[in-house]
Amino acid sequence: MTSLEGKTLAERYRVDALIGRGGMADVYRGADVVLDRDVAIKVLTERDDGERDRFLREARSMARLNHRNIVAVYDAGRDDGWSYIIMELVEGRTLGSVPAHELTVHTAIRHYVEVLEALSYAHENDVVHRDVKPANVMVLPSGAVKVMDFGLARRTSDMSSAGSAGEIVGTIAYLPPERFLGKTADARSDLYSVGIMLYETFTGTLPFKSDSDDLVAVIFGHVNEPPPPPRTVNRAVPAEIERVILKLIEKEPDRRYQSAQAVVDELRALLGEAQPVPPDPALQQPPSAAAAARSKAGKTDSAEQERRLTIEADAREVLARTFGKSKSTLDIGQSESLAGMLATRKRDYPEAVRAYRAALAAFKESKNDLEHAKTALKYATMELQKITEADRVGARIDRRELADAVSEIADAIPVFRGRAMLKEVEEGERLLYALQRTLIRIR
């Protein structure tokens, strides 16, 4: 992958060192040599027209926002084919990387008040973030909070019921149900995401998750499952905090708080900043202090959960609502990839192979190397699962199919390595080694 380190963009912005890497853009530490100040430089690595438009939308959305808790945007442009955004350089830790033992309940609430004040300001300016998650909240050494990466933001007046056809953006774990059901997303959708973050901070876990990275199961949970009340997961969670969290993550937007400011007011009251309240000793305890001793009462019986989450009709309904009738190759790839995951869970291997191959072909046609590589990883994982079960019962292994999976995962590993996705590189190499050994064994 081309590095811009040492280059100067637009004869003004010196690129010094890479400090962050994502699927669509890299972030560098740099300097504005005209104003003699340090800056962050976000450079788009994907060059198709759709991503350029989205990148420009991010710059426009952020440039309109001037708030102490929002990362400032100074400039945007293109130089030598590179699209870039010049931003305030913010140093600290993301909210998700702050250890639980460093947070008292009081400190955690203060952080969330600042997050919500940033969102309240953005919403008042007709901007919905759409990707609120711990990785997009920076905690500075001073303790102040900055919300960043409005890359998925769009003006409220531009919001359609489902955005562009079949579009799934953001991080699935924090997205509200309406984003999967083709309904209108608005400011209350950001509040749902904040509620999921609060749940995670105060319990040490997510309300809807899948240990096997099964996106269908996570989507199903957001749309259909009631979350375990936080106090059944961590009995140390203050009752008032639980009430706020559960109201934020109501599945129907009309049942949530209707504005970020309303949540700010409640949290400030809880802190005693708006009106006197009796002191609460729990406010001086880490928010997830009891997470290690979670009550089993908040956990659904695994067999019952598996039964519900594997109801094919429900899962396919969610997929249909999510992807609609879009015919774009990107959407087809996403839909087929999810179908492959569902089929793998049901051990319908012929359908899984068909779906993954269709997804790989679609991502290849749309020139989306990263999604192609991620799907190859799922395909290889499914193939290894299938081989393990075949060995157990003495069934025949399809050598041609196995060779196809080996080829796909071998092509995927350099993509992960180029993006410094070390966990995926390690998993890919493990799968490649295991599949190659099997290939040699069945010659």
Which residues are catalytically annotated?
Answer: 131
What percent helix, strand, coil does the chain show, rounded to 5? 55, 10, 35
DSSP, collapsed to helix, strand or coil, labels residue 183 as coil
- The Cα–Cα gap between 40 and 17 comes to 10
* Spatial CA neighbour of 336 closest among 358, 316, 311, 309: 358
**For the purposes of burial, counting CB atoms within 10 Å of the CB of 303, is it exposed (0-12), middle (13-18) or buried (19 or more)?**
exposed
**145 CB-contact burial (10 Å; exposed 0-12 / middle 13-18 / buried 19+):** buried
Q: Which SS3 state, helix, strand or coil, does residue 229 take? A: coil
* Strand-pair partners of 32: 13, 37
Question: What is the per-residue DSSP string for 93-125?
Answer: EEGGGS-GGG--HHHHHHHHHHHHHHHHHHHHT
CA distance 167 to 89: 30
- Between the CA of residue 202 and those of 12, 110, 134, 238, what are the distances in Å? 44, 13, 13, 9
E strand or H helix at 199, and its extent? helix 187-203
Nearest to 41 by CA among 83, 2, 80: 83
How far is the C-alpha of 340 from the C-alpha of 334, rounded, in Å?
A: 10
Torsion angle (degrees, nearest 10) of CA 419, 371, 43, 162:
-150
What tokens appear for 180 in the block? 């999967």
As given in the structure block, the two tokens for residue 40 are 């962050």
Q: How far apart are CA 313 and CA 344, in angstroms?
A: 16
